[in-house]
Amino acid sequence: MNKTYLIFRHTFLQEIKKAGYIVMTLSVPVLALLAIGIFKLVFPAPAQAIVQAAPLTTEGYVGDPNLANIIVPGVFALLLGLSLMIGATSLINGLGEEKESRLIQVLFSSVSVRQLLIGKILALGLTGLLQVLVWLLSMPLLLSLASASFGGFLSRMQIPVNFLLLGIIYFILGYLLFAVLSIGVGAICSNAKEANNLALFYTLGSFVPLWTFSLNMFFPNNPIWVGLTIFPVTAPIMTMLRLGTSIVPAWQIVASIAVLALSIAGGLSFSIRIFRMHMLMHGKRPTIAQLAQSLKEAKAES
């Protein structure tokens, strides 16, 4: 446990000191402030409110969906997706750099694979959570400033604590899922560039709910959205978006969280085995047959 903490502490401090992390964390609220300022310069008089905000609950907004109802879940889902994608990319780049520099071999001489991966996952998860918290803490100020430009309807929106807690739960589960997928991808690829290209399948796949958001607004009860709510890769963003357009039954949220948790547990076991067998390989990617054989051997040894 002490070695895991040392890896966690080193990775966390290393990540929060990176210029890219600091810029990305501050860029979202700063760009939002610039957008609000530019809008006020172009349209000095406050715009007349054409929509009314309905109360938000943990089951969704009460009443018909409108612009005011979907702003907070939409923005939250977008920030959630960006944070998950950034976290996965950071983990892949870190593993790729250590693999290319052969540092990973030095680390394996003093720590186990499980200690190394758990320490990195927890550290990058915490950095991502801090990033999201900064964005959330800036949201009330941004909504207040934006409300003055749009007739004041945003100021009447209330965000319950339960909604924020649900968002944090989905962030944690979504990040852990992306982390275990990134571990497996980073292990079988020879460099970070190749791994990032392969990771696009699940990082971009998580944005499918945002790409289909307009259809979700017009057809909120379509069974497709239920499937995307339960499917692990799209579950975090899809659930947040559906809370703004329809009432999400409790069983769907419970099923979504359960499937995410099971996927993380199974994916972690799979990824650690793949990592242990192929992380030290250089110059070529193992075939599917080789991966299957490695899993059989690892299972037999355990």
pLDDT of the residue at 158: 61
Full residue range of the structural domain in which residue 287 is found:
2-42+60-301
Q: Which portions of the chain are predicted below pLDDT 50? A: 47-65
Q: What SS3 state is found at 236?
A: helix
**256 inside domain:** yes
Residue 121 neighbours by CB under 8 Å, 6+ apart: 91, 176, 179, 180, 183
User: Does some domain include residue 210?
Assistant: yes
What was the pLDDT predicted at 58?
45
In a domain? residue 263: yes
Neighbours of 44 (CB within 10 A): 8
Amino acid 251: pLDDT: 92
Residue 54 domain flag = no
Total count of domains within the chain: 1
Asked if 56 and 158 touch (Cβ cutoff 8 Å), the reply is yes
- The rounded distance, in Å, linking the Cα atoms of 177 and 197 is 18
Residue 193 included in any domain: yes
pTM of the shown model: 0.77
**CA–CA distance, 39 with 142 (Å, rounded to integer):** 13
In a domain, 50, yes or no: no
What is the reported pLDDT for 214? 82
Tell whether 153 is covered by a domain.
yes
Question: Residue 62: its pLDDT value, please?
Answer: 40
Reported as a single tens digit per residue, the pLDDT across 90-102 is 888 877 777 776 6
